[in-house]
Structure formats: structure tokens, C-alpha cells
């Protein structure tokens, strides 16, 4: 009954929203991307890749999840030679990065969460295991897996501050749905407790740690090499990563004062969402700054002068570009979104600053604060604090941050071990 009501509500939402989606599809390719796959058409390359193979289906959602699971996929492949790890995403940017990162894996868009569409994919893939990431709890997908005898694991599972009240109001409805999950691998003890509170079976909830502690981007990506070769000797580089709407304006407003204190500074500005690249470029122009667009640097061989703002308008490069930073600001934290992962720059020993809104990464931020490894900055103090970091006055933050990163590593191995044990139990 619950699933029937959910499916009807989902269908109604799609019908009501159809005019908006159709308008978007006529003006933006990203809204058309993967439409037929979302409606149940399975690409031929997926059919060929899984034919006669044992399969794990991993739903990696978008860029962040693709990066977080890269090492997990490597370890599972090593432990299960000959198996196929089929990867679905929700976003176009996630799709592109998954094709780059998961070489040899079939990559496709997650179908809409209707039972008939989900069954098509399950019938073709015949997965031995479905892995969902974080809070991707799709009721029909989980139910159809249970009906087909496919174990479901939720990896890096979390219940955010924002979503917890909604889950609590609906926990009588969620409790029977959560029983379809064979294993929750929570990213922290707090999230494990929240999962049990909303209805997960306690014996199916473990807390092996956060995969994002183990994200290790290469230091020598093509973009990193290009940027490094274009910077002037001695340039002080501020990498402002994963910024959201509103934050770029704050950073650009602070930039003249930063340059007054540190004239040889360069800012690499990396918006979180690709559709905003042009808007952020226009915003920089409105502040009297002509940004250097990273996507065009290879064609123009453009050098980066002191005082420049580089717009990192490429996909999947930010994590390695942090290695060039003298100091880093991690976005989503000057607005109420809740922040992004401060460990990405910390792993390189880069001093890290964030705004006051960090609830999405509370455990990581608290671990870093306990070790004096992160700076919490209000908007009004951005110019002063960023300048201090670029002058090297907070160098100890970087070394402390690297130690936090190294101390917290190892979650991926624990997650892989738990998933392999689940496969063994399911096969018995």
C-alpha cells in the first residue's frame, strides 16, 4: 500500500512538473541527457558488458560520490576478479566523470523509481549486490531488489540535520521500507544512531567510517600540470573550491583587499555546479575582473599574472588542483547549504578555511577543530583571514590537517570487507 501511494505521488509530481522539464530540455542538453535510460531503455554496451558475468550495481549519484567510491571500486575489483561493477549516476557531470574514473565498467543513468522500470534493469543486470550511496533510499528500487533476492547495502550512509525531522515524521512509513536494506554502513556513529532511530534494524547497521577520508586525487592531473606551468614563480594560490551561489560574490568582493595585503596572490575559483560556470564568469566581470577560464588555457597558452582569478570550469579536477594551493577555502559553508569536504585540501597539507555552515561534514570539521587543523571564517573577516593564510601565518593548520587525514584513513578497506562478507552470506 505504501509503495502504491508513493508511486502515484511520484507519477503526479512528474505530470505536474512536465511543462517545466520540457521547457528545460528544449534549452539545456543536460536535462535531455540520459532521458531514454531513465525511462527504461538499457544501452547496448551495458547489455554486452554484463552478459554472463557476476555483477555489482553501484549507484554513484554525482561527482562527489564517484570520487568517494573510486578506491572502493578498485578494492572490490581486486578482490573479485572477473566481476563487473556496473555504475549508475543521476547527473550528467557524474556520468562523465564515472566514464573517466571507472574504465571497464558499464555506466548508465539510474531509471526513474517506478517498479516496472527498475525491474527491467534488475532483469538485465541480475546483480549479486546493489550498493547505494549516502541517503539514496529509493523505495521501489529497494523493494524490487528484496523481491528478487538481491541484497542492498547503503554505503557512507547518512541522515543529515535537514532530513532527520522529515524521516522522524514519516518513520512509521520508512520502517518497513528500511527492512529491505541488508546492510547500512554509516559514515559515523551519530549517523548510525539516526538510522536506527528512523527504523533501520540495529543488527544491520555498522559504522566503518567515512569514505571521503580516503579520497586521494592524483597530484599530477593534466589540469594541475597546466595551471602549475602557467603560474608565475612564487605565486600565492588561493583555491576556493565547491562554491555555491552567493559565495563567489563574497569572495570576489574580498579579493581587492586580499591583493592589497598579498599582491602576488592568485585565486582559483571552482563553482560546485557546472551550469553556473558562465554566470560566475559574468559575476567576475561585474566586479571588474576578467577571469582566466581554465577550460581555454590549453588552446591559448595563457599565463596567469599575479592578481588573476582563474575560473576552474572543468569537471573532476578540483581535488588535484588543491595540491597547488597555498591556502584553501572550501565552499557551501558561507551559505546555509552545510559545507563540502575540507579533507580534500587538507590531505596535501594545505591550510583550510570554511564558513560557519558545516553541518554536512560535522564529524570531519569537529575532528579537524579538535586538532587545530581548520579555520572557521565569517564573511566579514574573509579579506583579513585569507590574507593571513596566504602570507603563511597559518601554516601549522595545514600540517595538522594532513595528520587528521592520515589518522582517519582506512574506512574504504573496512567498507570493502563488510561488502564482501555480505556477498558471502548471500551466496551461502
DSSP 8-state secondary structure symbol assigned to residue 313? -
DSSP 8-state secondary structure symbol assigned to residue 316? S
Helix (H, G, I), strand (E, B), or coil: what is residue 182?
coil
349 by Cβ neighbours in 10 Å (0-12 / 13-18 / 19+) ranks as middle
| Set of cell numbers at residue 177 | 521500507
- Rounded Cα distance between 82 and 100, Å, is 20
Catalytic: 65?
Answer: yes
Sequence-separated (6 or more) residues with CB below 8 Å from residue 104:
none
Lookup result for grid cell 563488510: 418
CA 31-68-349 angle, 5° bins: 120
Is there a contact between 174 and 201 (Cβ–Cβ < 8 Å)?
no
Catalytic residue among 65, 136, 144, 247: 65
DSSP 8-state secondary structure symbol assigned to residue 237? E
- Rounded Cα distance between 156 and 135, Å, is 8
Phi, psi of 266 (to 5 degrees): -135, 135
Lookup result for grid cell 560556470: 277
- Rounded Cα distance between 254 and 389, Å, is 14
Lookup result for grid cell 587525514: 405
CA atoms within 13 A on the CB side of 347: 20
- Rounded Cα distance between 196 and 200, Å, is 5
DSSP 8-state secondary structure symbol assigned to residue 41? P
Is there a contact between 80 and 54 (Cβ–Cβ < 8 Å)?
yes
Residues recognised as catalytic: 65
Amino acid at each position: 500500500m505504501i509503495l502504491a501511494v508513493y508511486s502515484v505521488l511520484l507519477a503526479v509530481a512528474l505530470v505536474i512538473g512536465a511543462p517545466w522539464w520540457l521547457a528545460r530540455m528544449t534549452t539545456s542538453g543536460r536535462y535531455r541527457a540520459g532521458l531514454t535510460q531513465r525511462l527504461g531503455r538499457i544501452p547496448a554496451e551495458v547489455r554486452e558488458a554484463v552478459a554472463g558475468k557476476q555483477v555489482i550495481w553501484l549507484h554513484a549519484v554525482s561527482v562527489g560520490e564517484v570520487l568517494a567510491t573510486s578506491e572502493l571500486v578498485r578494492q572490490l575489483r581486486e578482490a573479485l576478479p572477473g566481476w563487473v561493477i556496473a555504475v549508475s549516476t543521476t547527473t550528467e557531470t557524474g556520468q562523465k566523470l564515472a566514464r573517466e574514473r571507472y574504465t571497464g565498467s558499464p555506466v548508465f543513468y539510474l531509471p526513474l523509481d517506478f517498479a516496472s522500470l527498475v525491474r527491467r534493469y534488475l532483469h538485465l543486470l541480475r546483480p549479486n549486490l546493489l550498493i547505494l550511496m549516502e541517503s539514496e533510499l529509493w523505495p521501489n528500487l529497494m523493494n524490487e531488489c528484496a523481491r528478487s533476492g538481491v541484497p542492498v547495502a547503503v554505503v557512507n550512509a547518512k541522515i543529515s540535520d535537514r532530513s532527520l525531522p522529515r524521516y522522524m515524521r514519516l518513520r512509521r512509513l520508512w520502517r518497513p521500507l528500511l527492512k529491505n536494506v541488508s546492510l547500512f554502513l554509516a559514515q559515523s556513529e551519530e549517523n548510525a544512531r539516526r538510522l536506527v532511530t528512523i527504523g533501520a534494524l540495529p543488527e544491520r547497521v555498522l559504522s566503518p567510517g567515512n569514505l571521503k577520508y580516503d579520497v586521494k586525487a592524483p597530484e599530477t592531473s593534466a589540469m594541475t600540470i597546466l595551471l602549475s606551468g602557467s603560474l608565475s614563480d612564487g605565486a600565492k594560490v588561493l583555491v576556493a573550491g565547491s562554491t555555491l551561489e552567493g559565495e563567489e560574490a563574497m569572495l570576489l568582493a574580498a579579493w581587492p583587499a586580499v591583493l592589497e595585503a598579498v599582491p602576488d596572490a592568485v585565486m582559483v575559483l571552482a563553482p560546485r555546479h557546472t551550469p553556473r560556470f558562465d554566470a560566475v564568469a559574468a559575476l567576475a566581470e561585474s566586479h571588474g575582473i576578467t577571469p582566466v577560464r581554465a577550460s581555454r588555457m590549453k588552446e591559448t597558452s595563457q599565463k596567469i599574472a599575479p592578481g588573476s582569478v582563474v575560473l576552474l570550469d572543468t569537471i573532476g579536477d578540483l581535488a588535484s588542483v588543491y595540491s597547488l594551493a597555498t591556502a584553501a577555502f572550501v565552499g557551501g559553508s558561507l551559505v546555509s547549504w552545510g559545507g563540502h569536504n575540507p579533507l580534500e585540501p587538507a590531505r596535501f597539507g594545505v591550510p583550510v578555511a570554511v564558513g560557519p555552515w558545516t553541518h554536512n561534514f560535522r564529524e570531519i570539521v569537529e575532528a579537524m577543530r579538535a586538532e587545530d587543523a581548520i579555520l572557521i571564517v565569517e564573511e566579514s573577516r574573509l579579506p583579513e583571514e585569507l590574507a593571513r593564510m596566504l602570507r603563511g601565518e597559518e601554516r601549522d593548520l595545514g600540517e595538522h590537517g594532513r595528520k587528521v587525514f592520515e589518522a582517519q584513513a582506512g574506512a574504504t578497506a573496512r567498507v570493502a570487507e563488510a561488502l564482501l562478507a555480505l556477498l558471502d552470506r548471500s551466496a551461502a
